[in-house]
Amino acid sequence: MLARTIAIGAIGLAALISPLTASAQDALRGFYLGAGAGINFWPEDSDLGSNEAEFDDWDWTTAGQLGYAFGNGFRAEGEFGYRPNDVDSVSGVPGASGDFETMSFMANLLYDFRIANFPLTPYIGAGLGAARVSADGVAPATGVTIDDTSYGFAMQGILGVSYDISRNLALKADYRRLWVPDLDFDTSAGNSVNSDYSTNEIMIGLRYTFGAPVAAPVPAPAAAPAPEPAPKAVQPKDFLVFFDFDSAKLTPEAQDILRSAAASAKESGAARVVLTGHADRAGPATYNVGLSQRRAEAAKAELVRLGLTAAEITTQAKGETDPLVATADGIAEPQNRRVEIVIR
């Protein structure tokens, strides 16, 4: 019942908020691999028949995932996890110790809340599966030990946040609560002992998605001819500088156009130069905002090198929001990978 409540709650919250966030930034679609490590802490006391085993406050944990992102915020994954816990004491049994080792095999459903112009992506999830719990040298009573393995139904809740390092790679950090009720162990005395396992976990890791759009670099358009010399009080002049796919590096054609723009600004006595960076729709929207800003900064650095002062140059980034050529999401359009230069 608890697992069902967690799963229904996670899906319901995602469905409620998704209309507000789905249009903000389209997620990548495709298979992914994830891995993380951290600590499991404050495990609950575990029943051992009429007594209880108290664990150390914390130990380490690790997990790996293979999943699929559906492109609408939802992700489904299979997960393997491992965590050990040392037994600090057992109520009513002086000097009792031992340890538990728990391996979990989970099926998780998660939802990413992607928010426009926000670098972090919160996510929630729930998981159901099975766990293999091994007890080694645990004493449920004086003179009796448990050296046995039990398999049980497992469930977990997940709260986390991720950060896109690149189009495919994300840094993630999450909190998990794992429950494994109704375990049965055989003791050295030949008796059966009912038990359970529950712990908190915090893990940091990486997730690599294979579904990012891939496009071969497209040559940038030929350089525009140098503008006619303009008098001092002439109307504003515009130039366009194009970039290769997923790049903020100036091409030779782009450098030619920037030389023309710098010459035009000097001849007209321009007091202000505005550089607006843009990107195509291949990849996450937040990543594309940063990419278009780097393109504008690269153009600014070249204009400064060509003799303009940094104070008269302003940069801004529009990401994929103002395309020169309208495309569907995920399309790598070379005309949209640009910096617009306006000389006033």
The C-alpha atoms of residue 157 and residue 261 are separated, in whole angstroms, by: 56
How many C-beta atoms surround the C-beta of residue 239 within 10 A? 23
Whether 215 is covered by a domain: the verdict is no
Tell me whether residue 290 is in a domain: yes
Question: For residue 101, what is the domain's CATH number?
Answer: 2.40.160.20
Residues 122 and 248 in one domain: no
Q: Do 107 and 167 reside in the same domain of the chain?
A: yes
pLDDT at position 235 is 55
Distance of CA 138 to the CA centre of its chain: 40
| 247 in any annotated domain | yes
Q: Do 186 and 305 belong to one domain? A: no
Compute the 3-state secondary structure of the chain and give helix, strand, coil in percent, each to the nearest 5: 20, 50, 35
CA distance 126 to 9: 9
Residues 243 and 202 in one domain: no
- 111 in the same domain as 41: yes
CATH of the domain at 320: 3.30.1330.60
Q: How many domains does the chain have?
A: 2
Q: So what's the pLDDT on residue 223?
A: 63
- At 335 the three-state DSSP class reads helix
Enclosing domain of residue 93: 2-209
Same domain, 166 and 259: no
pLDDT in tens, 155-170: 999 999 999 998 899 9
Cβ atoms within 10 Å, residue 21:
19
Last residue of a domain, one of 209, 229, 245: 209
Indicate if 184 and 271 belong to the same structural domain.
Answer: no
**pLDDT by residue, tens only, the chain of 344 residues:** 444 444 444 444 444 444 444 433 456 789 999 999 999 999 998 888 888 999 999 999 999 999 999 989 999 999 999 999 999 999 888 888 899 999 999 999 999 998 888 889 999 999 999 999 999 999 888 889 999 999 999 999 999 999 999 889 999 999 999 999 999 999 999 899 999 999 999 999 999 999 755 444 555 666 666 666 654 444 568 899 999 999 999 999 999 999 999 998 888 877 689 999 999 998 898 999 999 999 999 999 999 999 889 888 999 999 999 999 999 888 889 999 999 999 88
Pair 269, 203 in one domain: no
Same domain, yes or no: 40 and 178: yes
Q: Are 148 and 160 in contact (CB under 8 A)?
A: no
What is the amino acid identity at position 80? Answer: F
Please enumerate in sequence order all residues whose Cβ is within 8 A of that of 281, keeping only pairs 6 or more positions apart, or say none.
288, 320, 323, 327, 328, 329, 330, 331, 333, 336
pLDDT at 143: 86
State residue 222's pLDDT score: 62
Residue 267 CA to residue 14 CA, distance in Å, equals 57
Same domain, 27 and 141: yes
